[in-house]
Structure 1
Amino acid sequence: MPDYPNDQAPEQSLLASKKEAFSAEFPPRVQDSAISKMWDLLVAGINTQWRFIQENPRSAKSRTNPEYQELAERYSEHLSVIAPGRPFALWTGGIAVSLYAREKRNCTTLENTVLGNAIHKMNLHETCVPWDCIGPLWNSISRMFVAKMQGQSVYLFMRTHAPLSIFYRQELTQLAALPAIPRTPADNSLNAGATMQELITRLNRLKPNGSSSLGLYFVALYAERNNPTPDEFREIDASGHLVARHNFNRERDAVAAIKRFHVFKIMESDRVYRELAGKRDVRDMKLFAANDGVWQGIDPKPEWWDELARAWQRAQAASNSVAASEMKLD
């Protein structure tokens, strides 16, 4: 997260100074009047979101921001790609993942679109606007970006497994609802109130080169540092090993690979293993794992605590020389 304090109001003068940089990212074909209108909606949306935060911080993210919505819908043509012909990509786990998808996998992310690029280049949340004001803007334009994903491949890059993220709650569930995704009779009976897991299950049934015109490929990623360069990333294969390139056809297989890799990484470290073996109970193990360097770059409290605990308990029952390859996740 940026250092800019989330309880500080947007700095209007510094924000206004960024209009020229925003305008410069649009190609000549875009009229100045359209760019000015987009800018006005952007600034108005920031101020509306700040008002929402002041009124009720807990509900601010869930409220509809009319200016952000208008910006995304009215100017959706500018969410077209800068470099046509490249597969689309969605990502989770930090902006470095987006850069990896673009540079190493030649994919088009939201930041590759004309409007997305113009917003991204300003770095508003690092200089003059709290992230809580900017996050809903990205959510709004992401909806329109995902709506364009018809008839081609989409790669989904995952450095973390975070079910509460926009990647899961909005982007994957929106993908599952696209007409290109095949449905069973059970799916057809699902109404707008379908749960996220029901929608993810629908995605997991999708087969590459099948009846769908939308091919989905999941990529599990790891990098040691918090802010890695694209060259520092490695992909995780089905065995939990780091490789140059590996795709999964199902979300659940990518998630399993991420879990397997991080549990193995802990158990393969002699120092970590010795310290884990000395923990008196599962609670101590969780606290240790959460604060150990091997968790840098992923959620501080991963979703798979129970599975890690079971692996730790099996290690406790085995000898100190237990091989990571002998340990299996449930």
Structure 2
Amino acid sequence: MSLIQADGTCNLKSPQNESVTLDWRADPFVSLSDLTLVVYDGSGGVPYHVHTLLMAYGGRKSKFVLEQIKNKSSRVRKRVGGSQTTRLGGRTDSDSNSTSSGPQQQQQALNRQHSDSAEYQVDIYVPSLAARYMPLFLDYIYGSTLQLTTDNAPPLRYLSNRFDVRDLHREVNSRFITRDLEPGTAAKYCAMADELKDYELRDRSVKLLAERFDGVNISTLGKLNPRLMRSLVQSDRLRCGSVELSEKIARYLRLRDEMLEDADKAERIDGPNSEFLSPLTDEDYYWLTHCQHMPEISPKEALYYLSYGARFPQVMAEVGSGSLKARCLASSSKPEAMDALADHLEGNGP
């Protein structure tokens, strides 16, 4: 006998007629788990001992899990070739009709039970970022109240789509992200959505950043990889003057260098770290400084771009009035450039 509560929790009666609360965190034998959910993230699989009653039929059910169970049940029925065998907790109709309890029959029953338990396993692959939030996702399925934040909303949104939990998707997307996505958080949403391959959320974040770029604190953009930063500056929604844009991109490049240096130190101490970081390529530098969106370079940053460009000879070898070198030289002749150079030589500038 079971009773599903309004909040999604559920109690069962054990064979000893004791009340059992379904809890995926508890010992699977004690909690009467009848389904193993194995989550793969590219570095191995993590098993979660869950319950069909809540995962497939509860108030916060997963349609993905339900379909997986239905498909497995269908394959089992086909495999028995039309015999009147119904699996229920490792028992069959033939078990209940059998009057013999000899060693051979007992072994056959054990073999059938092992086969049945193997059927009730659902495998799923998710990105590592989403896999870290599986415990929080399962807590929600089992009736817990979510405490949504900017950090957990993108992975929970991904899991709500992957597992097809519509109520969770509405709660995360419509009730939280819609209010929380603003210039101060958009870069984090963009980077996390890109890692999760949630392209709709990523593009939404890029659009917001582009439209409000003149008011965005550049320090929040540090975790955007060069590919995402290129998408931002090349967006037709970009609202930022050329001189101001050149100053923001210069600050972004300095910030990326600092982060890469810190990551190199961390790698020597703690092992590999790929946290959103990847060095700029010639192509990245070319498009981040393209004359289409940056026709004029800030005099304060002209010498910096020339110096930084030494890393990218293909870009600096370009000729013509629209080349980065030509734009920097034109800007460096202005009085502000001389002031910036003087500050740099005196140790007061970047």
Q: TM class by shorter-chain length?
A: under 0.3
Please tell me whether Structure 1 or Structure 2 has the larger radius of gyration of its CA atoms.
2
Higher relative contact order (CA 8 A, sep 6+): 1
